[in-house]
Structure 1
Amino acid sequence: MDHNHGGYICSIVPFYLLEAMSKSSDPKVRECGLKSLACQERVHKARFDSFQTKLAAHHQTHHDHSKGHGIVPPNLLEAIASSKSTTQAAKDSAQKTLGISKQVHDFRTEGSSSKEEQGPSSLAAAARAKVPPKPTKPSETGFYRYVYDMQNKGDDERPSTLRLLPGKLVCSEGDAPTSDKATDEVYSNTLTVLNFYKEFFQYDSLDGKGMPVVSSVHFDTNMGNAFWWDGKNQMVYGDGDDFLYNFTGTIDVIGHEMTHAVTQFSSNLSYWQEAGALNEHLSDVWGIMVKQFVEKESAEEADWLIGEGVLLPGVKGVALRSMKAPGTAYDDPRFGKDMQPDNVEGMEALRKTHGAWLDEKDSGGVHIFSGIPNRAFVLVSLGFGGNSWEKAGQIWWKVARGGAISSECTFIQFADATVDAALALYDEDAAKIVREAWNTVGVVRKI
Structure 2
Amino acid sequence: MSAPPATCSFIPPYLLEQIARADSAAAARMTATLTVDARLRDQRPAVPHPHPTVAPTTGAAAIVPDWTVHTAKGSTTLPGTEVRGSGDPASGDPAVDEAADGIAGALRLFAEVFDRSSYDGAGAPVSLTVHYGRDYVNAFWDGTQLVFGDGDGEIFDRFTKPVDVLGHELSHAVTEHTAALRYQDQPGALNESVSDVFGTCLKQWLLGQSVDQADWLIGAGLFLPGVNARGLRDMANPGTAYDDPKLGKDPQGASMDEYVETSDDNGGVHLNSGIPNRAFQLAATAIGGTSWEGAGQIWYAALTGPDVGEDTDFAGFAAATVAAAGDHADAVRQAWETVGVTPQAGSTSDAGTGSSPSEETLVSVRRTGGFAGRVAEGSVDLTSHDARVPEVRSLVERIDLAHVAGGNPHPDMYVYAFDLCGRRAQVPEHHLTPDLSRLALIVLETGDPAS
TM-score in terms of structure 2 length: 0.70
2: distance between equivalents of 1:247 and 1:438?
31
Amino acid at match of 1:340: Q
Correspondence for 1:96: 32
Per-residue CA distance 1:165-219 (angstroms, 9 max, x = gap): 1111111222222132111111111101111111110011111111111001111
User: Which residue does 1:439 correspond to in 2?
Assistant: 337
Q: Name the counterpart of 1:237.
A: 148
Q: Pick one of 273, 278, 283 that aligns with 2:185.
A: 273
1:97-112 matches, cutoff 5 A: 97-108=33-44
State the secondary structure of the residue aligned to 2:128. Answer: strand
Cα pair distance change 1:109/1:213, threshold 3 Å: closer
Q: 1:181 to 1:346 in 2, by over 3 A?
A: same
CA contact (8 A) 1:65 1:268 kept: no
Aligned to 1:201: 114
Q: Aligned to 1:365, what secondary structure does the other structure show? A: helix
**1:134-145 aligned within 5 A:** 142-145=64-67
Change (3 A) 1:441 1:69: same
Q: CA deviation at 1:65?
A: 4.2
Q: Could you tell me how far 1:403 is from its partner in structure 2?
A: 2.2
Conserved 8 A contact 1:246-1:309: no
Instruction: Compare the two structures and name the one with the higher strand fraction.
Output: 2
CA contact (8 A) 1:65 1:271 kept: no
- Measured after TM superposition, the shift of residue 227 of structure 1 is 0.7
- Please tell me whether the aligned partners of residues 64 and 118 of structure 2 are also in contact (alpha carbons under 8 angstroms): no
How far the C-alpha of 1:109 sits from its partner, in A, is 5.8
Structure 1 residues 142, 336: closer, same or farther in 2, change over 3 A?
closer
1:150 alignment partner, one of 58, 72, 92: 72
Aligned AA for 2:122?
K
Query: Which one of 380, 389, 410 corresponds to residue 283 of structure 2?
Result: 380
Deviation, 1:107, is 1.9
How big is each residue's C-alpha offset from its partner over 1:350-408, in whole Å with a ceiling of 9 and x where there is no partner? 32xxx2xxx23x11111110000000001101111111111211110111111211101
Is the 8 Å Cα contact of residues 103 and 166 (structure 2) preserved in structure 1? yes
Runs of 4 or more consecutive aligned structure 1 residues displaced over 4 Å after TM superposition:
none
Residue 79 of structure 1 pairs with residue 18 of structure 2: yes
Quick one: distance in 2 between partners of 1:145 and 1:207? 14
Q: Secondary structure at the match of 1:339?
A: coil
Instruction: Write the letter of the residue equivalent to 1:78.
Output: E
Equivalent-residue separation in structure 1 for 2:255 and 2:164 (angstroms): 24
CA distance in 2, matches of 1:142, 1:370: 30
Decide whether the 8 Å contact of 1:270 with 1:407 is kept in 2: yes
Paired position in structure 2 for 1:399:
302
Distance in structure 2 (CA, Å) of the matches to 1:321 and 1:179: 30
Partner of 1:22: none
Secondary structure at the residue paired with 1:202? coil
Larger RCO of the pair (alpha carbons < 8 Å, separation 6+): 2
User: Contact between 1:219 and 1:239, CA under 8 Å: does it hold in 2?
Assistant: yes
TM-score (structure 1 length as normaliser): 0.71
CA displacement 1:282-341 (0-9 Å, x = unmatched) = 110011111111222111111100001111111112110000000000011112100101
Preserved contact between residue 78 and residue 335 of structure 1 (Cα < 8 Å): no
> Residue in 2 aligned with 1:10?
none
CA distance in 2, matches of 1:443, 1:327: 18
Q: Which amino acid aligns with 1:418?
A: T
Between the two proteins, what is the percent identity of the paired residues?
A: 42
Structure 1 residue 446, shift from structure 2 partner: 7.7
Separation (CA, whole Å) in 1 of partners of 2:64 and 2:127: 15
Partner in structure 2 of residue 292 of structure 1: 204
Contact 1:149 1:216 (C-alpha < 8 Å) held by counterparts: yes
Q: Mark the CA change 1:420 to 1:95 in structure 2 (over 3 Å): closer, same or farther.
A: same
CA distance in structure 2 between the partners assigned to 1:250 and 1:148 by the alignment: 18
Kept in 1, the 8 Å contact 2:319–2:344? The answer is no
Distance (whole Å) between structure 1 residues aligned to residue 81 and residue 13 of structure 2:
29
Task: State whether structure 2 residue 101 is matched by structure 1 residue 179.
Answer: no
Structure 2 unaligned residues grouped into runs of 5+: 48-62, 346-451
Change (3 A) 1:271 1:142: closer
User: Residues 266-295 of structure 1: CA distance to partner in whole angstroms, max 9, x if unpaired?
Assistant: 111111111011001011001111111122
Query: Quick one: structure 1 residues 70 and 143, their matched pair in 2 at CA, closer, same or farther if it must change by over 3 Å?
Result: same
Q: Deviations over 1:69-99 (max 9, x none)?
A: 111122211110111xx242x2111122222
Q: Which segment drifts farther, 174-183 or 315-324?
A: 174-183
Q: Which amino acid aligns with 1:223?
A: Y
Code of the residue aligned with 2:75 in structure 1: it is K
SS of residue paired to 1:444: coil
* Structure 1 residue aligned with 2:230: 318
Q: Which amino acid aligns with 1:271?
A: Y
Deviations 1:394-427 (A, max 9, x none): 11011111121110110000011111111xxx23
Out of 405-414 and 167-176, give the one that drifted further.
167-176
Structure 2: distance between partners of 1:209 and 1:223: 32
Q: Please tell me whether the aligned partners of residues 259 and 282 of structure 1 are also in contact (alpha carbons under 8 angstroms).
A: yes
Cα gap change, 1:108 to 1:246, in 2 (>3 Å): closer
Shift in CA distance, 175/109, structure 1 to aligned 2, threshold 3 Å: closer
Q: What are the Cα deviations for residues 237-281 of structure 1, in whole angstroms up to 9, with x where unaligned?
A: 001011112211211111111111111111111111110110010
Aligned length: 329
1:95-123 CA distance string (max 9 Å, x none):
2222223202332369xxxxxxxxxx9xx
Q: 2:64 touches 2:107 (CA, 8 Å); kept in 1? A: no
Does the 8 A contact of 2:64 with 2:108 survive in 1? no
Q: For the residues of structure 2 that align with 1:174 and 1:249, how far apart are their CA atoms?
A: 21
Q: Is 1:225–1:237's contact at 8 Å kept on the other side of the alignment?
A: yes
What is the alpha-carbon distance in structure 1 between the residues aligned to residue 199 and residue 283 of structure 2?
17
User: C-alpha distance in 2, partners of 1:332/1:203?
Assistant: 40
| SS in structure 2 at match of 1:366 | helix
Rg (Cα) greater in structure = 2
- The answer to whether the 8 Å contact 1:316/1:330 transfers is yes
Name the CA shift for 1:87/1:175 in 2 (closer, same or farther; >3 Å). Answer: same
